[in-house]
């Protein structure tokens, strides 16, 4: 006794965010501009916030050293500044015609983060030397 069951399913073309040309423009622009912006923000020291982990204090912008507060952390501020600027550039890129975005070579998405790594490593060398002395 054998029965054959045939299942016929109609597949609807699904709209995916990954296939969206607007998302593609945002992602490419964010990925290329993010590492460059981060290096510039770190070099010019423009954090959005300064965090003092020893006392749990979070303040807007850059705050100079305070007595009895321990060291401050600027990484959070640099990262927030980078996300906001790169996100704004990504949103602007969504307004650019698709034919222009398609001319951006995708290898730049890999190149800029790779080029940013040596700068970030070099910029942290002071802290490594300071930790080695202690």
Domain ranges for the chain, please list them: 19-128
DSSP letter (8 states) at residue 107? H
Exposed, middle or buried: residue 44 (CB in 10 Å: 0-12, 13-18, 19+)? exposed
pLDDT score, position 132: 82
Q: What is the pLDDT along the chain (134 residues), one digit of tens a residue?
A: 666 666 655 555 566 666 788 999 999 999 999 999 999 999 999 999 999 998 999 999 999 888 888 888 899 999 999 999 999 999 999 999 999 989 999 999 999 999 999 999 999 888 788 778 87
Helix then strand then coil, % of the chain, to nearest 5: 55, 5, 35
> What is the distance between the alpha carbons of residues 90 and 23, in angstroms, rounded to a whole number?
9
Prediction pTM value:
0.80
């Amino acid at each position: 006794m054998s029965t054959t069951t045939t299942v016929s399913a109609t597949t609807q073309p699904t709209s995916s965010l990954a296939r969206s040309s607007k998302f593609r423009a945002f992602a490419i622009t964010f990925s290329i501009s993010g590492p460059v912006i981060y290096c510039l923000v770190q070099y010019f020291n423009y954090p959005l916030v300064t965090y003092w982990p020893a006392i749990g204090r979070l303040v807007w912008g850059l705050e100079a050293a305070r007595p009895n507060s321990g060291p401050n952390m600027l990484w959070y501020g640099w990262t927030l500044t980078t996300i906001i600027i790169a996100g704004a550039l990504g949103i602007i890129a969504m307004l650019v015609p698709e034919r222009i975005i398609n001319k951006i070579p995708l290898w730049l998405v890999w190149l800029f983060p790779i080029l940013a790594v040596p700068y970030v490593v070099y910029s942290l060398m002071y802290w490594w030397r300071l930790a080695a002395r202690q």
